[in-house]
Amino acid sequence: MTSSGTGWSGGAFGDRAQCVLAPNADTMTLDGTNTWVLREPGAQRCVVIDPGPMIESHLDAIAQAAGGRGNVGAVLLTHHHHDHSEAAKEFAQRMGCGVRALDPEYRLGSEGLGDGDVVEVDGLEVHVVGTPGHTADSLSFLLPAERAVLTGDTVLGRGTTVVAHPDGELGAYLGSLDRLHALAEAQEATVVWPGHGPVIDDALGAIDFYISHRRERLAQVETAWRSLLERHDPPATDDLPMAVVEIVYSDVDPVLWGAAEWSVRAQLAYLQR
Ligand SMILES: [Zn+2]
């Protein structure tokens, strides 16, 4: 399957992964949510990551890729956002397994999920890496056998992600990028299998770009913020984030300014920490 450009439609990757693309494309989800079905070659049961939105045809497609009821060892969530989690409990019930997530509210069954956990299903090993920032409960999943890291919304296949203040937190996010960078530098993760958009064949390059983009934006936000405060009639505190957006994101489609405002709020919180 294609892994670049706008023709992303999911498909098989490495020897262990099948990406089933959900039909929920919009400005925030890019091509739609990537649901990942992971299975050790020849094994019966698989792991399903992010069943995605409650769309019947999508659940049927994942169930088919997973091999039907009894063939899913666990459903794991990268984070709680609805486009990743909405169908999780329903899908797990149909498959006869649990849902494991960092946030207890999104679990089905007694098993949690957190940094350092290793999930093993029929020989498949998934290592959990805590990567808070996009949300407080964001996790990434490392597949050592594929040297792949599944990043949810922490690193996307295209463009950059939103740190959604106040649940998301920029200091934590920068720390998470550093952690992913270290995994890529050590060649423990050479490819990124993201929660939206195409797979990335150069994990280190992509994470480098994310880090430099984030630092650049932060510097732009700081400059805009200081210039607004120095004005004769500075904007009211509540209007300040959007005033910063209008300066820094002037090159971005205004349809995305709402999301940009949350990102700016996260950056202002970070600058004022
Ligand atoms: Zn998200």
* pLDDT in the model for residue 161: 84
* pLDDT in the model for residue 72: 98
* pLDDT in the model for residue 6: 63
Q: Which of 26, 31, 60, 83 is catalytic?
A: 83
Tens-binned pLDDT, residue by residue, of the chain (273 aa) = 334 446 899 999 999 999 999 999 987 788 999 999 999 999 999 999 999 999 999 999 999 999 999 999 999 999 999 999 999 999 999 999 999 999 999 999 999 999 999 999 999 999 999 999 999 999 999 999 999 999 999 999 988 888 878 888 999 999 999 999 999 999 999 999 999 999 999 999 999 999 999 999 999 999 999 999 999 999 999 999 999 999 999 988 898 898 889 889 999 999 998
Contacts of 219 (CB under 8 A, 6+ apart): none
* pLDDT in the model for residue 7: 83
- Catalytic-residue membership of 83: yes
Distance 146 CA to ligand 1 centre (A): 24
Q: How far apart are CA 185 and CA 273, in angstroms?
A: 29
Decide the pairing of beta strands 17-21 and 34-38: antiparallel
Distance 85 CA to ligand 1 centre (A): 10
Partners of 193 in beta bridges: 150
Amino acid letter at 116?
A: G
Partners of 76 in beta bridges: 49, 100
* pLDDT in the model for residue 4: 42
How many Å is the Cα radius of gyration of the chain? 19
Classify burial at 237, counting beta carbons within 10 Å of its beta carbon; exposed 0-12, middle 13-18, buried 19 or more: exposed
Q: Who surrounds ion ligand 1 at CB < 5 A?
A: 81, 153
Distance 96 CA to ligand 1 centre (A): 26
Distance 36 CA to ligand 1 centre (A): 15
